Amino acid sequence: MAQQISATGLEFVRFGVWTNAMRTPAYRRQVEQAFDAARDANLPVIVTVRDTAPLTKGDTTDSAAQDEQLRAAAGRLSATIVELSRNYGSGILAVELWNEPEFQKYWPTGHIDKTFPVYMRAVCAGLQEIRGTTPVIGFAFATMPLSGSMPEHLLRDAGVPSNGCIDAVSWHAYGKSAVEIAQVSEYVRANFGLPAIITEWGVSSGRLATENGQAAAIAAFLRERNSMRTPLISIYEWQNTTNAQNSKERNFGLLDAAGAQKPALGALRSALKGK
């Protein structure tokens, strides 16, 4: 798969590493194999690191005890990132902190306005030794980081930009126009002094859409990418996912679940050739 991605003309690959799963040898081997495959295909990696389990005990009512649990969980995440940086640093394009924390599905701890700042400030403090060597981006927001938005509040509450924790703000731009994306880029640069990059954008061929409609949407989007003022766009995703919840989620791939090329891949190739 990595060789195919490289041959298409794409310049990096993105995948996730779950901190709590790193305790098992089988999962650690999976991570190693993924980095090896990317390296062999000359693809640097954006590695999105998060926990898939709650960061605090559900019965914790004491705020000081909860904060202690959050900082302990943060220490585990930052230790995982430092380990990844040591083992695969030359192959890492950036470490991305978390994924869509606005959603309860991805921030299972709850009370994000109170728990995210405590947790993420502690994560950032634990990344001091890799600062300047491994780029760190955050926080893969699901919504546009604009004035008054939850992403803006979370960025400021986490100490961005004063703590120097992240090198770019990452977000997911599904359904957003080139004008909207440029607006985000300008706002983030003006208010945080950082670039805004897109670590997920894609179009599904499922539910009420079609494969040809997916291809047309990708072609139209990429024709405008130079006006978006973002230095990086990650397309979601390479191949259809068979175990997603619904038809839309299962059909974002440029390839179908069996590995056959969809028209979307041809549209992507044409866009990359045209630069």
Query: What was the pLDDT predicted at 275?
Result: 61
How many residues does this entry show for the chain?
Answer: 275
Looking at the whole model, is its pTM more than 0.85?
yes
- Tokens encoding 170: 């990452």
Please, which contacts does 174-180 make with residues 24 or more away whose CB atoms are closer than 8 Å?
Answer: 174/200, 174/201, 174/202, 176/144, 176/201, 178/221, 178/224, 178/225, 178/227, 178/228, 180/144
Domains within the chain, CATH numbers bracketed: 2-201 (3.20.20.80)
Residue 239, strand partner residues = 255
Query: What was the pLDDT predicted at 166?
Result: 98
Please, which contacts does 217-226 make with residues 24 or more away whose CB atoms are closer than 8 Å?
Answer: 218/264, 218/267, 218/268, 218/271, 219/267, 219/270, 219/271, 221/178, 222/267, 222/268, 222/271, 223/271, 224/178, 225/178
**Is residue 119 classed as helix, strand or coil in its secondary structure?**
helix
Q: Which residues contact 204 (CB under 8 A, 6 or more apart)?
A: 214, 247, 248, 249, 251, 252
Report the candidate in 190, 189, 217, 191 with the shortest Cα–Cα distance to residue 203: 217
Low-confidence residues in the chain, pLDDT < 50: none
Query: What one-character DSSP code corresponds to residue 61?
Result: -
Q: Tell me the residue ranges of DSSP E strands in the chain.
A: 13-18, 45-50, 92-97, 136-141, 168-172, 196-201, 233-235
pLDDT over 70 percentage in the chain: 99
Query: What was the pLDDT predicted at 238?
Result: 98
Residue 67: other Cβ atoms inside 10 A: 17
Query: What was the pLDDT predicted at 60?
Result: 67
Q: Is 75 exposed, middle or buried (0-12, 13-18, 19+ CB in 10 A)?
A: middle
